[in-house]
Amino acid sequence: MKVVTPKEMAVMDRHAVAAGTPSIELMERAGHACAEVIKVDLDEKAQIIILCGPGNNGGDGLVIGRSLIEDGYTVHLFLTADREKLSEDSQISLKRLEDKNIPIRTLQDDADLEDLSLIMKRATHVVDAIFGTGLVDKEIPASYNRIFDLVNDFDREKIAIDIPSGLRGDIGLTIGNGIFADKTIVIQNYKTGCLLNDGPDYTGDTILIDIGIDENSIPNEKYYTQESDLKFPQKRKKNTHKYDYGSVVVIAGSKGMSGAGILSIEGALKSGGGLVTCYVPQDIYIPVVARAPAEALIKTYDCNITSDDIKHDRKKVILIGPGIGRAKNYSFILEHLLEGSLPVVIDADGIHHLAVVVDSLKESKTPVVITPHFAEFSKLIDVPREDILKDPIGYGQKFAMEYQVVVVLKGYRTMIFGTNGEIWFNSTGNPGMATGGSGDVLAGMIAGIAGQNVNLFEAARAGVFYHGKAGDYYAEHFGQSTLTAHSIIESLKYVLK
């Protein structure tokens, strides 16, 4: 399933119209499909306020109103702009309402707002059809901000159409304030703004509706990961042994951070890795051996380790970074690993050290994946975090293609950037996972999966998906507060089969 920017959505809409579906028909389909979703929660006592803006998002609201009224529900329709300012299709939808003698009020002054707030006291639902994907980045008039505040104070169900008003559909940031919806009915495809930055906090739960627009009519390579898209887990052949399932090398840990490697080992083993060897500095060897799973081999190394030292024909992938700290210089090791032939996963402080030798990525012939969060990525590419937040897709895609490295940019909806420009938005995970060590588990999982003859890009997509799914499993059963990195490891057995 594709994820689109508002501009891409507009092009898809135009293609649908050019292919023979009039735009008013698309609006009818959108409005009726949204009404069907809304009706599921309504009973005979429901009173629904629908706030309709000047553009086609408002037009969707008018169609929703007509559909609900025809089914006998009590609906209060409000226009937030003068009738003359409505888009062409909204004018048609308004006329269809008026032809049925359905009343609609315009919010013009303080008295109208007062009226709205009185009706809100007895309403059960507010539908936000004020602005959708056509919101442009210019100051929103104060009159709208007052409406947004009123809606946000409404303590019953708030349903946004396509995208909550005030939220930018491209980057998931608001222009001034915006409407916090409980639920957003997304038309046809997720917009990037639903998934980035504050988008998920504004949209609430999301429900996708299909109005028959062809997502393949544009050359867009942004996708929303579904489990069926993954090429892992694969069925195991009977005639196999542990070396067929990836011998993973983990270079991890430093004094004070001896647990990081253990979490990565467990991530690798519990995602099916056949054999894991963890290299740790001499000074933490004993604590790591004492706490590591019995299945893992623990070895020591010094800072001159090269990929030849750890190379063995049965080793399949190397993970470097969790808990290695910044005190020692790892640039030398990284350069050697990148010159080698085994796939490399670089995580955490490994990314800090990579910054010094970042150009070696361009020379490297071996597949590499890096797993930064936004702060680590900002340091690596030397761009302020605030600038990246305004264009995370652009920066992630540029780096992945220029340096030929798979980038896993971690967040609520982690993005996986392929070296060919492809982008996958992960669809699993929850804020309970914002807890120390959960990144170490993820890095171990990606390495563990890559070791099972899965290419690094596929391993990254699958690792991120099942890491999030395990976190969701735990949160569903026990809540988010007690979720730890170990909860993710322990939940993997329920979601990865």
Binding residues for (6S)-NADPHX: 56-60, 144, 162, 260, 323, 373, 440
The structure tokens listed for 353 are 């050290």
**Cα gap 180→295, rounded to integer Å:** 48
Site for ligand ADP in 413-472 (CB under 6 A): 414, 429-431, 433-434, 436-440, 442, 467
Count of residues in contact with ligand ADP, rule CB under 6 A: 18
The per-residue b/e assignment along 107-145, b for 16 or more CB within 10 angstroms, e otherwise, is beeeeebeebeeebeebbbbbbbbbbbbbeeeebeeebb
440 binds ligand NPW (CB under 6 A): no
491 binds K ion (CB under 5 A): no
Q: Which residues are annotated as a binding site for K(+)?
A: 57, 128, 165
Q: Which does 472 bind (CB under 5 to 8 A by kind): ligand NPW, K ion, ligand ADP, none?
A: none
161 binds ligand NPW (CB under 6 A): yes
Q: Are 88 and 115 in contact (CB under 8 A)?
A: no
Q: Which does 439 bind (CB under 5 to 8 A by kind): ligand ADP, ligand NPW, K ion, none?
A: ligand ADP
Of the candidate residues 48, 50, 53, 466, the single one contacting ligand NPW (CB under 6 A): 53
The structure tokens listed for 427 are 């669809």
Which of 165, 81, 169 has the alpha carbon at shortest distance from 130? 165
Q: Which residues are annotated as a binding site for AMP?
A: 410-414, 439
Q: Are strands 406-409 and 415-417 parallel, antiparallel or unpaired?
A: antiparallel
27 binds ligand NPW (CB under 6 A): yes
Helix (H, G, I), strand (E, B) or coil at 172: coil
Q: Are 415 and 392 in contact (CB under 8 A)?
A: yes
**How far are the Cα atoms of 68, 157, 441, 459 from residue 124, in angstroms, in the given order?**
14, 7, 44, 46
Closer to ligand NPW by Cβ: residue 30 or 252 = 30
Shortest distance in whole angstroms from residue 83 CB to K ion: 19
x/- mask, ligand NPW, residues 106-135, rule CB under 6 A, reads -------------------------xxxxx
Shortest distance in whole angstroms from residue 235 CB to ligand ADP: 27
Shortest distance in whole angstroms from residue 358 CB to ligand NPW: 39
**Cα gap 378→384, rounded to integer Å:** 6
Q: Give CA torsion, residues 121, 126, 128, 129, to 10 deg.
A: -110
Residue ranges that bind ligand NPW, judged by CB under 6 A: 13, 23, 26-27, 30, 53-58, 60, 87, 131-136, 138, 140-141, 161-162, 175, 187
Residue ranges that bind ligand ADP, judged by CB under 6 A: 348, 373, 410-412, 414, 429-431, 433-434, 436-440, 442, 467
